[in-house]
């Protein structure tokens, strides 16, 4: 949003008008529901013309197909925000946009779970591509992080390190990790519009070392902390998926953080240093009032201490 306004674009937002409705008071806002069968659906979009549409909330092919078909005669480009979860196999390292896609036996399911999320994103991609052949850009990000991220996934790490003391660091310092700052992704999406870039783009972020990410978090605060590295094999057995962002560099997850995003980089995607993302995320988190702070992902202090004690007794 900020990138588009800074570059002089005229914007229209379409949403339900329920979450933080006063966030962008000077931007045109149309209200409705992206489900065409609810609360007037998408009729507020009918008959309007735009150079491009960025669809960042599509989860079910039925609803994406409805909006894409309605807008097709009146927009030049449809950008669908998909996910790196659209791919079928995370065990292979260094895959690109040609990798095998996830499938489902029930394309009509409309419940998002760990099993359905990826396949449904694939079907949403196809719905937009079929409605606007040759006029779509499919974007597949991994973990989108940075200030104002409500998931609390990445924020867990700079906030935890800021608390100081002994920090359980899962895996190994050399484990690969990929994140993309939301501000970098947003700025690039505007470039995609300006350049009328079409096709499929991974935007998982640069492949870096997990130890470097945690070091960046340590540099973001004057509070002292020490990292106790606990092997991924042990973490997977004791507390699988308790620690956000990190993925075990093992077996079926070995390629989880090694996706190639060369195509997006060639199309102008630029990454800021992870240290900047860590520092800005911590600063943002601290600006929130105590009663409204984003709920952090990750283990509680008690759970972390329990795991550390169990590891040391091993």
pLDDT band at 241 (very low <50, low <70, confident <90, very high): confident
Q: Under a CB-based contact definition with an 8 Å cutoff, are residues 76 and 195 in contact?
A: no
Mean pLDDT of 246-250: 95
Q: Under a CB-based contact definition with an 8 Å cutoff, are residues 240 and 122 in contact?
A: no
Would the pLDDT of 247 be above 70?
yes
pLDDT in tens, 260-311: 999 999 999 999 999 999 999 999 999 987 666 788 999 999 999 999 999 9
The least confident of 2-6, 172-176, 193-197 is: 2-6
- Burial code (b: 16+ CB inside 10 Å, e: under 16) for 198-223 equals bebbbbbbeebebbebbbbbbebbee
Mean pLDDT of 190-219: 97
Would the pLDDT of 1 be above 80?
no
* Rounded percentage of the chain residues whose pLDDT exceeds 70: 99
Eight-state DSSP code of residue 153: T
Mean pLDDT of 162-183: 97
DSSP of 256-308: TT----HHHHHTT-----HHHHHHHHHHHHHHS-GGGPPPP-S--HHHHHHHH
Domain ranges of the chain: 147-178+208-254+272-314
At residue 291, the pLDDT reads: 62
**List of residues 6+ apart from 45 with CB closer than 8 A:** 14, 30, 32, 67, 70, 71
pLDDT in tens, 156-168: 999 999 999 999 9
Q: At what angle do helices 274-287 and 156-163 cross, to 10 degrees?
A: 80
pLDDT band at 217 (very low <50, low <70, confident <90, very high): very high
Q: Which helix (H) or strand (E) holds 132?
A: none
Tokens of 81: 């925000």
The least confident of 6-20, 228-242, 270-284, 290-304 is: 290-304
């Amino acid at each position: 949003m900020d990138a588009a306004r800074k570059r002089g674009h005229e914007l229209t937002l379409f949403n339900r008008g329920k979450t933080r409705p006063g966030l962008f008071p000077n931007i045109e806002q149309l209200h409705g529901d992206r489900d065409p069968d609810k609360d007037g659906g998408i009729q507020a979009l009918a008959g309007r013309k735009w150079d491009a549409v960025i669809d960042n909330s599509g989860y079910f092919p039925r609803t994406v197909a409805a909006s894409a078909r309605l807008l097709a005669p009146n927009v030049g480009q449809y950008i669908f925000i998909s996910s790196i979860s659209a791919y079928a196999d995370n065990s292979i390292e260094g895959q690109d946009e040609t990798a095998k896609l996830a499938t489902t036996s029930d394309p009509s399911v409309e419940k998002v779970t760990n099993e359905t999320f990826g396949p449904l994103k694939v079907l949403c991609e196809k719905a937009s591509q079929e409605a606007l052949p040759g006029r779509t850009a499919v974007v597949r990000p991994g973990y989108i992080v940075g200030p104002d991220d409500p998931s609390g996934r990445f924020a867990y790490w700079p906030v935890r390190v800021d608390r100081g003391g002994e920090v359980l660091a899962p895996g190994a310092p050399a484990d690969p990790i990929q994140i993309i700052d939301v501000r970098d992704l947003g700025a690039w999406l505007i470039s995609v519009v300006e350049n009328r870039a079409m096709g499929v783009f991974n935007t998982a972020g640069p492949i870096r070392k997990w130890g470097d990410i945690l070091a960046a978090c340590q540099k973001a605060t004057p509070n002292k902390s020490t990292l106790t590295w606990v092997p991924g094999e042990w973490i997977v057995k004791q507390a699988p998926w308790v620690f956000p962002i990190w993925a075990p560099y093992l077996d079926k997850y070995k390629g989880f953080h090694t996706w190639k995003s060369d195509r997006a980089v060639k199309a102008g995607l630029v990454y800021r240093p992870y240290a900047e993302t860590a520092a800005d995320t911590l600063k943002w988190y601290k600006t929130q009032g105590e009663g409204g702070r984003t709920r952090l992902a990750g283990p509680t202090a008690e759970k972390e201490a329990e795991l550390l004690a169990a590891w040391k007794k091993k």
